[in-house]
Copies of this chain bind each other. A is one copy, B any other.
Amino acid sequence: LTPPEAPPYIYLPIARRPQGLPSRGNITVPEQPEPGVAPDAEPACADLLSTGDMARLTGSTLRTVRFYEQEGLLEPATRNGGGHRLFSRDQLEKLQLILDLREAGLSLHEIRDLLELKQGCPTAEAASERLTCVLERQLECMQHKINLLRRLRDELASTVSAINDCRSCNDAKFPHRCDECDVLQQPEHPRALRVLWDT
């Protein structure tokens, strides 16, 4: 990808960056091709992203981008003269998916398996079946997690509303005998209220 004769300063990250693409400290996600720029002229070299661009555009960190490269999840298209990594756009999208899957609870091992699944299958049939199988198992886990989060959200919300009247409390039952207080009228306190407030 790097012409051997070209001097390093040809490859300055700023020079490579089309106007409107990531400027320092700007977190706006840039659109794909500039109008008037042929998208298939120099497809891999047209708009490469630095490690910092990758981090800023995804809300992650330099360390995370480098760590994912070290673990084989990301691959820079090339490096410039100063040794700086330069990533193509598809690696940005890959990074965004990895970060979302991480937040959904998948380990990097599971994510790597997903990313490598298709290339590890001899036929489209095998790849389709295996990917479907893995994704459906993950879909179940995600649904369980959504259900837990929704239950917990409702529990904490009802705890907040239950202790609302405690702002005007002058009772000596605070803090040790709040479970005997008439202000907390609910017949059965939600678990979070019992654990965080009753005692």
| A129 to B: closest C-beta gap in Å | 6
Binary contact readout A15-53 vs B (1 if CB under 8 angstroms, 0 otherwise): 000000000000000000000000000000000000000
Known contacts A175-B119, A196-B115: A149-B157 contact under CB 8 Å: no
A136/B160 in contact, CB under 8 A = yes
A118/B196 in contact, CB under 8 A = yes
Interface residue SS majority, chain A: helix
Chain multiplicity (copies): 2
Chain A residues proximal to chain B, CB less than 8 Å: 90, 93-94, 96-97, 100-101, 103-104, 114-115, 117-119, 121, 123-125, 127-129, 131-132, 135-136, 138-139, 142-143, 145-146, 148-150, 152-153, 156-157, 159-160, 163-164, 166-171, 174-175, 178, 191-192, 194-197, 199
19 contacts between A and B (CB under 8 A): A90-B195, A103-B145, A104-B148, A104-B149, A115-B195, A118-B196, A123-B169, A124-B169, A124-B170, A124-B175, A131-B160, A131-B197, A132-B164, A135-B160, A138-B156, A139-B160, A146-B150, A146-B153, A149-B149
